[in-house]
Chain A
Amino acid sequence: MSDVFALPAPVAARRRATAEPVLVRAGLIGIAMVFLGVFLVVPLAAVFTEALRKGVQAYFAALTEPDALAAVRLTILVALIAVPANLIFGVAASWAIAKFEFKGKSVLITLIDLPFAVSPVVSGLIYVLLFGLQGWFGPWLQAHDIKIIFAVPGIVLATVFVTFPFVARELIPLMQAQGSEEEEAARVLGASGWQILWRVTLPNVKWGLLYGVILCNARAMGEFGAVSVVSGHIRGLTNTMPLYVEILYNEYHFAAAFAVASLLACLALATLALKGLVEWKARQEQDNGEPVFEYGAAT
């Protein structure tokens, strides 16, 4: 079925006319597969092999350690705050940018993309400069006994920063491509702003939205550099799963480190599968004449 979809008859005929010799084809496919094998498949396989090196029992024992469970809980908590926060921002930003014409729009779009250009380590550092003991608000925070750096709020803030653009940059091009005729029609028919958002706009962009949320969540749960700077690495309290992996690894508990890492690898594989599913559903609706969802815009 896939071949039929990708290669309509005239294109297939063209391929035969201007195709490479079979040997060249096979050679190129071979080189590409070896490259991907060495860089992607082998490391992925290594995670699971190393995790099970000491047996299934040790694997599950490593995952049910209190510290491991605390790390899983913190990772989920952080994602549960960061993803909805950036989802609401993404909807607000794309509503303003895609449905209205105003000056300075391209500057605003560039600023929204800014966190992608910043090194994760620097992303963590800027919050230390604000809220750390020597930071702008440090003395005030200490006087009021509020901890942000080396505590959960700092981890949440750093995660929100690094996942900031994900939903917005999926929604903005999609909503721009869709235009605002449907919303205007709804308005003329007497719908309120919230009704338009819930009944017209969001259903139209649901796949793009879901795509952004999936990517945002993967990054939120997997972020390492930024979180590492603000966490303070307090076991059972401020260790997310990636930080816990690092601690176990540096203490030479390799099997345990890879066991926790294998959970994150499963999350990555689930992310890829979900992403593929969303792309497929979106393409199906596109074939049925529904709005275009341009996948792969987020990098």
Chain B
Amino acid sequence: MSAAVWQWRRPSVLPGFGLALGYTILYLSLIVLIPLSAAFFKTFALTWTAFWETVTAPRVVASLRLTFGASLIAAAINGIFGLLVAWVLVRYRFAGRRIVDALIDLPFALPTAVAGIALTAVYAGNGWIGRLLEPMGIKVAFTPLGVIVALTFIGLPFVVRTVQPVLEDLEPELEEAAATLGANRWQTFQRIILPAIWPALLTGFTLATARAVGEYGSVIFIAGNVPMVSEITPLLIITKLEQYDYAGATAIAVVMLLISFALLLLINLLQWWTGRRMVRI
């Protein structure tokens, strides 16, 4: 056995390769790969027409449109404000900066169900912020706007955490040179800083989108879940399951899986690009 192994791995004096890799592949297969493939095999039980009819039903299409639209808008909000927050945290010194910095990760640490009911309480018509918005005719809770708010919350750390290290590593000489050549701060930002952090910003945006597309817990409380209006795709999967429509649920799940994998590929490409860019700078 070892003779075959030596062909595809570089020799090492360290022991335990076979055991560690064997366990890794076994555990990975049992927990992740075999269950995931079950979803694909289950869809093969459907004919192509049945599959296509399921995933292009008006209710499914409406939910996909809402899920992706809201995810992209939320990621864009996080792109703009995340960059601003990262900038403020890296460049400025103010009281409580460290606490604010630690708090950024709250959406990673707070269970999504808790985030969901908290956001609903805050943005409902009688909530702390909802009360201020209602006189202006803006309803957040139980509308598609609520979906965007929830997805903005759970995607908040991604852009901040991808842009922050790049801003920290930015060479001050570049900005000094720009200033010496007569650029004002806005020009320096546009022409020097933004191009340097652009790949990181795009990576954060894509990560936030990918997370938002699959999100369930924080959305369902605030969304109102009206079919065709404020029903997200993951909820539709659960609805189908509760009606014992396993084939339908799986067909939608496979569409979501394919989209997730495409986004994962995009993220890997972006990170590869970021790595390349960093070497070049």
A residues near B, CB below 8 A? Answer: 2-3, 6-7, 11, 14-15, 17-18, 20, 24-25, 28-29, 31-33, 35-36, 38-44, 46-47, 50, 89, 92-93, 95-97, 99-104, 108, 110-115, 117-122, 125-130, 132, 134-136, 157, 160-161, 164, 180, 183-184, 187-188, 192-193, 196-197, 215, 218, 221-225, 228-229, 241-243, 245-246, 249, 254, 257-258, 261, 264-265, 267-269, 271-273, 275-276, 296, 299
- Interface: B153 (CB within 8 A): yes
B residues near A, CB below 8 A? Answer: 8-10, 12-17, 19-21, 23-25, 27-28, 31-36, 38-39, 42, 81, 84-85, 87-89, 91-94, 97-98, 100, 102-115, 117-119, 121-122, 127-129, 149, 152-153, 156-158, 161-162, 164-165, 172, 175-176, 179, 185, 188, 207, 210, 213-217, 221, 234-235, 237-238, 241, 244, 246, 249-250, 253, 256-257, 260-261, 263-264, 268
> CB distance B17 to A96 under 8 Å?
yes
Q: In the complex, which of the residues A7, A136, A183 contacts B14, with contact meaning CB atoms closer than 8 Å?
A: A183
> CB distance B172 to A134 under 8 Å?
no
A174 to chain B minimum Cβ distance, whole angstroms, is: 16
8 closest residue pairs by CB, A with B: A119-B214, A222-B111, A102-B9, A224-B217, A225-B216, A193-B15, A96-B20, A268-B109
> CB distance A122 to B35 under 8 Å?
no
- Which residues of A lie under 8 Å from residue B34 when comparing CB positions? 130
Task: Take A242-B217, A258-B117 as given contacts and tell me if A100 and B92 are in contact as well, using a CB distance cutoff of 8 Å.
Answer: no
Task: Take A117-B263, A118-B257, A224-B113 as given contacts and tell me if A276 and B102 are in contact as well, using a CB distance cutoff of 8 Å.
Answer: yes
- Which residues of B lie under 8 Å from residue A43 when comparing CB positions? 115, 118-119, 121-122, 153
- Which residues of A lie under 8 Å from residue B127 when comparing CB positions? 46
**C-alpha gap A117/B263 in the complex (Å):** 8
Can you sample 13 A-B contacts with CB below 8 Å? Answer: A32-B84, A41-B103, A43-B118, A104-B8, A110-B264, A117-B260, A129-B42, A130-B38, A134-B246, A196-B15, A228-B216, A245-B113, A245-B117
Task: Take A32-B85, A40-B156 as given contacts and tell me if A218 and B108 are in contact as well, using a CB distance cutoff of 8 Å.
Answer: yes
- Which residues of B lie under 8 Å from residue A215 when comparing CB positions? 108-109
- Which residues of B lie under 8 Å from residue A132 when comparing CB positions? 246
Residue of A nearest to B176 (CB): A18
**C-alpha gap A269/B106 in the complex (Å):** 8
Task: Take A17-B179, A46-B128, A125-B249 as given contacts and tell me if A102 and B35 are in contact as well, using a CB distance cutoff of 8 Å.
Answer: no
> CB distance B214 to A122 under 8 Å?
yes
**C-alpha gap A117/B258 in the complex (Å):** 10
> CB distance B253 to A122 under 8 Å?
yes
Of the listed residues A46, A89, A130, the one surrounded by the most CB atoms of chain B closer than 10 A to its CB is A46
**C-alpha gap A264/B115 in the complex (Å):** 10
- Which residues of B lie under 8 Å from residue A122 when comparing CB positions? 39, 214, 234, 237, 253, 256-257
> CB distance A299 to B161 under 8 Å?
yes
> CB distance B103 to A272 under 8 Å?
yes
Residue of A nearest to B17 (CB): A100
> CB distance B253 to A117 under 8 Å?
no
**C-alpha gap A80/B179 in the complex (Å):** 56
**C-alpha gap A38/B20 in the complex (Å):** 46
> CB distance A126 to B39 under 8 Å?
yes
A9 to chain B minimum Cβ distance, whole angstroms, is: 13
A137 to chain B minimum Cβ distance, whole angstroms, is: 10
B246 to chain A minimum Cβ distance, whole angstroms, is: 6
Task: Take A110-B268, A229-B238 as given contacts and tell me if A129 and B119 are in contact as well, using a CB distance cutoff of 8 Å.
Answer: no
Of the listed residues B158, B241, B253, the one surrounded by the most CB atoms of chain A closer than 10 A to its CB is B253
> CB distance B214 to A249 under 8 Å?
no
- Which residues of A lie under 8 Å from residue B15 when comparing CB positions? 187, 192-193, 196
**C-alpha gap A40/B100 in the complex (Å):** 10
Q: In the complex, which of the residues A103, A157, A224 contacts B112, with contact meaning CB atoms closer than 8 Å?
A: A224
Q: In the complex, which of the residues A6, A126, A264 contacts B35, with contact meaning CB atoms closer than 8 Å?
A: A126
- Which residues of B lie under 8 Å from residue A218 when comparing CB positions? 108-109
> CB distance B23 to A89 under 8 Å?
yes
- Which residues of B lie under 8 Å from residue A296 when comparing CB positions? 161, 164-165
**C-alpha gap A92/B176 in the complex (Å):** 48
**C-alpha gap A121/B114 in the complex (Å):** 17
